[in-house]
Amino acid sequence: MKLIDINKSYGSLAVLKNFSLEFEENKICCLLGPSGCGKTTILNIISSLVEYEGIVKRERGNISYIFQDQRLLPNLTVEKNLEYVLLSTGMNKSERMEKIDKVLALMELKDKKKSYPYQLSGGMLQRTAMARAFIYPSNLLLMDEPFKGLDISLKKRLIDEFLKLWSRDKRTVVFVTHDIDEALLIADRIVLLSDKAEIILDEKVNQSHNNRNLNSDNLIKIRKSIYKNFV
């Protein structure tokens, strides 16, 4: 997927100016940068949620989107929220239930499938949103700060569960955050943006996702490079 000479303004505010970036297929690319630098706007342009000038080149196929807020349907159970996104796929009822049960088991939510969103904790809501995004047949996943506001232990657990899902069903991921630790734990590549949405660092993380250690020499080196350019 490629973004070529993208321009986007909101009134007199220019958010993106001649912005170009290429994403590698079936890899996790993190857009890291301060709040308000255009990260979410880039996701919304990729998903055609906003108008823009420029070119977006990507393979045909569906897009899954994990928003900052879970956007679950409050009148549907966990199971029905997941089934809702499968209704247009042509799967029969049995196939849908089998797929739902598998992803809920992986996310440790099978005993919550008859629960409504208001009955779930914040972490359960986030896992449900992830399950819904992965269960939908797409080749591109967009993630907009999905771990924002979670405590450290819960965040680490959700990151581990996200990576389990991704390793079983790899797809291209564009992941937005301003949290350096999240980027180091998840990304295959970190693109650091300035407050004016200029690319100031483009770093590959050549390390397996399994048991990444933030204190490893490789990640410490990348962290230092990010701090040098970002902080």
What would the 3-class secondary structure string for 100-136 be? HHHHHHHCCCHHHCCCCHHHCCHHHHHHHHHHHHHHC
Domains in the chain: boundaries: 2-61+139-230, 75-138
Which range is least confidently modeled, 7-16, 19-28, 86-95, 150-159?
Answer: 150-159
pLDDT of residue 210: 83
Angle formed at CA 38 by CA 154 and CA 161, multiple of 5 degrees: 20
Per-residue pLDDT at 231: 59
In the predicted model, what is the mean pLDDT of residues 145-166?
Answer: 82
Share of the chain above pLDDT 90, in %: 61
164-207 pLDDT, tens digit each: 888 888 899 999 998 999 999 999 999 999 988 999 999 999 88
Closest CA to 20 of 30, 38, 11, 7: 7
pTM confidence score: 0.88
d(CA 139, CA 124): 25
Q: Amino acid letter at 54?
A: G
d(CA 81, CA 131): 10
Report the distance separating Cα 52 and Cα 31, nearest Å.
19
What is the fold, at CATH topology level, of the domain defined by 2-61+139-230? Rossmann fold (3.40.50)
Confidence check: pLDDT of 10 > 80: yes
105-117: average pLDDT:
91
Q: Are 60 and 104 contacting, i.e. CB atoms less than 8 angstroms apart? A: no
